[in-house]
Amino acid sequence: MDPASLSVAAGAVLASIDWKRLGQALATDAANKSVKALLGRLGSNDRERAAKKAIELFIHEFLSELEDKTALTSSLPGYQDQLKRLIESAAEDIAIWLQPDTRDVDLSSVEHMWNGLGLVPLPQDFDWTLVAKSYGRAIRTYIKSDPALRGVLDTSLRERQIQLQERSVELLTRIAGREIGLDLPGYRKYLLSKCATVQLSSIQASTSRRQSVELLSIFIPQSAREAIPVRDISPTLLRQLRQEGQIAHELSEFERARFRWDYERSTISPVLDTLARRRQVVILGDPGAGKTSLLKFMAMRWATQEPACDDAGTMPVWIDLKEYAQERTGLVKYFETGRTVYGLDASQVEKRLNEGTAALYLDALDEIFDGPTRRSVIEEIAAVAARYDRAQVLVTSRILGYDADRLSSAGFAHVTLEDFDQAQVSEFLTRWYGVAEEDSRERLRLGRKLVQATQESRVLGDLASNPLLLTVMAILNRDQDLPRDRIALYAQMSRLMLHDWDASRSLPVEILAWQEKAELLRVLAGIMQQDTGLSENLIDRARLVDLCRTFLSNLGVRGHYEKAISLIKELTERNFVLSYAGADRFSFVHRTFLEYFCASWIVDLYDKRTLTLLQIREDVYGKHWKDESWHEVLLLVAGMVDEKSVENIIQFLMDQDGSDAETANLMLAAGCFGEVRNRGAIRGVEEVLWERFVTEVVRYDAPPGQARKKPYQLIPIRERAARLIASVWGSTRGGVWLRVAAIADPDPLLRTAAMDALVRGRKEDPETLQIVKKLAHSDADLSTQSAAVRAFAREWKSDQEALPLIRSLACADRDRPTFVQRTAIGELARCWPDDPETFPLLKALAQPGSNYYVRAAALEELARGWGKDPEIYSMLIRVIRSDENSYVRRFAIYALAENWKNDPDTLIILKDVARSDKDQDVALPAAGGLIRCWKTNAEALIVAREFISSDLDEEVRALMVGELARRWKDDPETLPTLKNLIRSDPSERVRMSAAYAFVQGWMSDVLF
């Protein structure tokens, strides 16, 4: 296609756009945002003309690349409508590059919008990078040719010269020996203004007498796991994250299972303790988990101290990585040149980092949207952490889209924040009301009321575990009782979070009242469940912007592009209903709100007669009753419609064949019945449902013709069935049934499940405690007795019989140990670590002479709970080097590698054991722990190669082959090493391991 034809095609696209509206929106936005320096300096008419020209240049370069990569030029007109939709969504991201100093244009956000809007796929070799380069050249040529833009360019260059002159004077001042200094008093005041308070007005001022509270007065440090969770997300999203550069590679099923196992086995400890002993840490957590608040709390501890001199303490240097990514001047340089930092003297900060008297607090890595930019920033973080090897470096990120490989290889530990437990919830509420309420009696009343509510209601307890949502609940609790009915609770929480938003800042109040915002969120939830499914709770940025624009346009709001951007910002930053999830995606701040608004969307369509009951039954319940991720939505729908509609739905579910779905139809039917307020209206269907539930669900096993379920596979089914009986019928026939089943049912799995349901739902009933005691003292099934021991120790720790019973079970019959004894040893260490007899008893159980199973359990608990005691370290070393039992030695290696991974002696011991131990069960865990313990990636790689090429046990070598392929896939020597092993290694086991690694990591490259 010749240039003239391209111009005609570009003109056709431009002519199809409502330029009066879009151009005015861009012009207004340019005037309000200083980042668009050139557009902001032009007059309104010139701005609209220049913005339109910028987009015309983009369209021309886009079509040029499309024409080059499309075999049939006749297909180009088919893209014009698609390009129009892109321009309407991405106009701001395109026009932003019309600046006097444009060199490198980044169109990654525009590319994401093309993909997110679901437009026709571009040719496979379409190159956005080439479009960006050509667009940058076209902008520079255009600016030079336009008189108005040339004048602005000259002004901009003069301003830059002045800035350089001022910078030169500053540098000369330093060379002359007059340092600017750190101004620590001023920096402390800056941190106080940034971190000191929690603004209640941003949630709802009318519900609290005080507009802010001090962070230090209410902050509760969470617990954390020193591990990375594995999230179950769809293969489609995983591939997209990889294509966008958000993650380096997809985990295999084996890797996911192993990492999940490592996470579940990881120790939970106070996060401040972990940060105190770690120099480089990435802090991970879900939205609202308190990552930024944790950094603020630590910064406030330094800013509010009373030092003897201003140099005392480790100075926190705070950088918002999202803002830093826009300037990229170098992390150390940014301290004094960045627009959003205090302006600290870089040379003085560098001096402190070298000395270890300054710490880097790098917040919100996940909010760097562009994949290549994020990778570059991660490289900078790794380099700075290596250069200043005495300084602490803390980085925060949300979990989705975070790739741990690079920072792990740089020596960073990873901690994942845990939800609040019940004790932390109670302490937070005590502190909150202590500062938010003036009347002492009111403080006590409100705190007790909400603590009791979270203990009695599973729904409230789940929400309260999130610090952000607990804050919302504390505010809501001030003026009303929190409803136990979770539908009413969700409605009230949503209204609270949406109602008091000051929409006048960007949108007309009369157009977007809280009801309209709730309607938007219902539509959003409905679209999300259709696009990606409820299990992911994610929506692409471009898709979200497009949805908001359409919604505002239907309301008659003008300039709806920039208003959509503003609306999303307000919903995330002021209302806290949505949150940025990383990887250029947004989510509801808690999955609960997605489910609530999705159910509300379905019921709203039903109320408006857009959906009939038949359609809900067939198309909603009929399609999704087997999908557990949908069950909460389906239960909420049942709670929102009338009783006769629910009766119809329950009968429909009972008519389905659930034999191949573990009776999911009957379980869902029972849950829907539990949502009915007036059960008397559907008494007939209840009787049929109860009979089928107790005969088909609680006794479920695979039907004839299918593989029989193994006992461990039936455990979750029994547990769910018992809990449903407790929640749906617990106050009537269900409570009696559970008590009988817990004591007398012949199925031990059901006895355990019934006891667990009683403990969860009827803990305060004295009869529940007597049942647990009876089962803990003796039960025919060791698994049931073990579960009872665990429940007794954790739930009734203060009972006078608890400690004597647990202690006696821990010591019982050392020659024939059982799961009960192992459980008792673990609960003794966890629940009574401060008892004077616990530590000596565990040491005695760990000594030779006890059964190997008992000794391993005691060693594991001693290492976990008393890891700082040098006697325990010495004990582990003795066991590893000289104990005769391989089972005990293996557990000692696990304990050593887990709790002393940074000790240099640990590396020596593990390396020696992996090389020389003749017992494969000992050498393998030593080799695996060895790689995880090395402080630097380079040293670990050397060890892996050394072991692979050695004459060690073939299982050890095969393990190292797998580690090499997983950890160092991008190393240029890895692929040749694997190929060589496949061709010529004498060990079949090693050849197989290399072949498997090759297929997993490189076969797609070979095929395509």
Judge whether 359 and 394 are in contact, CB under 8 Å.
yes
Contact 867, 899 (CB under 8 A): yes
Stretch 692-696: mean pLDDT: 92
Q: pLDDT tens across 853-874, in order? A: 888 889 888 988 887 788 888 8
Q: Fill in the amino acid letter for 814.
A: R
- The stretch 515-528 carries a mean pLDDT of 86
Sign, CA dihedral 127-133-139-144, equals: negative
- Output the pLDDT for position 625: 92
Structure tokens at 278: 């770690």
Sequence-separated contacts (24+) of 832-837 with Cβ below 8 Å = 832/797, 832/803, 832/806, 833/865, 835/803, 837/807
Question: Which of 231-240, 255-264, 459-468 has the least mean pLDDT?
Answer: 231-240
- What pLDDT sits at residue 168? 47
- 1 pLDDT more than 50: no
Of the candidate ranges 189-193, 226-230, 261-265, 903-907, the one whose mean pLDDT is the lowest = 261-265
pLDDT in tens, 85-120: 787 777 767 876 776 656 667 787 677 677 666 677
Residue 32: pLDDT above 50? no
pLDDT band at 242 (very low <50, low <70, confident <90, very high): low
Query: In sequence order, what are the residues at sequence separation of 6 or more whose Cβ sits closer than 8 angstroms to the Cβ of residue 745?
Result: 751, 754
pLDDT in the model for residue 601:
93
Does the structure show a pLDDT above 90 at 772?
Answer: yes
199 vs 378, which has greater pLDDT?
378
Question: Taking 90 as the threshold, does the pLDDT of residue 570 lie above it?
Answer: no
Query: In whole angstroms, what is the distance from residue 239 CA to residue 254 CA?
Result: 18
Written as six digits, the tokens of 118 are 């679901």
pLDDT of the residue at 395: 93
Asked if pLDDT for residue 510 goes beyond 70, the answer is no
Asked if residue 696 has pLDDT above 70, the reply is: yes
- pLDDT for 28 equals 47
Contact of 102 with 96, CB cutoff 8 Å: no
Residue with tokens 């720790």: 797
CA distances 887 to 124, 469, 859, 876, Å, are: 55, 46, 12, 13
d(CA 810, CA 819): 10
Greatest mean pLDDT among 330-339, 494-503, 590-599, 924-933 lies in 590-599
Tell me the pLDDT band of 505, cut-offs 50, 70 and 90.
very low
Q: What residues contact residue 164 under an 8 Å CB cut-off, 6+ apart?
A: none
Tell me whether strands 223-225 and 413-417 are parallel, antiparallel or unpaired. antiparallel
- Are the C-beta atoms of residues 463 and 596 closer than 8 Å to each other? no
Look over the chain and give the mean of its residue pLDDT values, rounded to a whole number.
77
